[in-house]
Amino acid sequence: MIVGEQKPISEIREIIAPYRRVLVLGCGTCVKTCFAGGEDETAVMASALRLSLKKDGLAGDIREWTVERQCEDEFIQEAARPAAECDAILSLACGAGVQMVARRFPDKPVLPGVNTTFIGVLEERGLFTEECAGCGQCKLALFGAVCPIARCAKKLLNGPCGGSRDGRCEVNPDTACAWHLIIERLTALGQLDNLRAYVPPTDWRTSLSGGPRKLIREDHRI
């Protein structure tokens, strides 16, 4: 899923300050799963903003609405009426959702209420971890299904740096060394010798270096 976290109320207060009537728009997919922007979080955010405005003696009209997915226009359309009634929209979706909502409502300021952080997993209750960098050329088959591009702080593809300690990353001891995991897993699979092969430089064109990426599915374009 795409993982995000809500911006602090103080920052949100600043970006919505010019607007009187604001629609807090939730998204029921990824950000729901990571507790940043689903229906429940949207309600809590709207209440928190109302309270915060009231405490400062400010008039404001905070409304709320949640759609299934903000990255698909057909769902966003369902918010047309509440959107039309507001001066601005505070989207609690990922950055893609924010931009898609802005496309649907070109005359409305659309503001981000969430910091989109990474593509990750729910590692354990309350802990999300980054697993994929969306590089566009999946190499997980080489690395025992542990991604060194997303999970090694130096994106090393030919083995670990000399810095890991007790299986932890030197950059952040709270994080497992991706190469430790790769070696552990390939050892368990009896495939450690896979790492003997030279991994050539990555072609970053499929990643962010090539500019914004596009995926065309001709079979779905009729």
Partner 1 sequence: MRTPFASKLAALLAQGNFVVTAECGPPRGSDAAAVIQKGRLLKDVVDAVNVTDNQTAIVRMSSIAACRHLLELGLEPVMQMVTRDRNRIALQSDILGAYSMGIRNILCLSGDHQSFGSQPDAMNVFDIDSMNLVHAVRRMRDNGTDMSGFALKDSPRMFIGAAANPFADPFEYRVIRLAKKIDAGVDFIQTQCVYNVERFRRWMQMARDEGLLEDVHILAGITPLKSGGMARYMAAKVAGMDVPEGLIRRMEGVDKKAAPAEGVAIALETIAELREMEGLSGIHIMAIEWEAIVGDIVRAAGLTPRPTAALNRPAAGE
Angstrom distance (rounded) from CA 85 to CA 189:
59
Of 134 and 159, the one with the shorter C-beta distance to partner 1 is 159
Cβ(176)–Cβ(168) below 8 Å: yes
Q: How far is the CB of 49 from partner 1 (least distance, A)?
A: 30
Of 140 and 192, the one with the shorter C-beta distance to partner 1 is 192
The helix-helix angle for 39-55 and 9-16 (nearest 10°) equals 70
Using rule CB under 8 A, residue 204 touches partner 1: yes
- Chain centre distance of CA 195: 31
Using rule CB under 8 A, residue 205 touches partner 1: no
Task: Count Cα atoms within 13 angstroms, Cβ side, for 138.
Answer: 7
Instruction: Name which of residues 140 to 199 contact partner 1 (CB under 8 A).
Output: 153-165, 167, 170-172, 180, 183, 187, 192-193, 195-196, 198-199
Cβ(119)–Cβ(151) below 8 Å: no
Instruction: Name which of residues 44 to 63 contact partner 1 (CB under 8 A).
Output: none
Tell me the number of residues near partner 1 by CB under 8 A.
30
What are the tokens at 7? 């911006």
Question: Which residues of the shown chain bind partner 1 in the complex (CB under 8 A)?
Answer: 153-165, 167, 170-172, 180, 183, 187, 192-193, 195-196, 198-202, 204
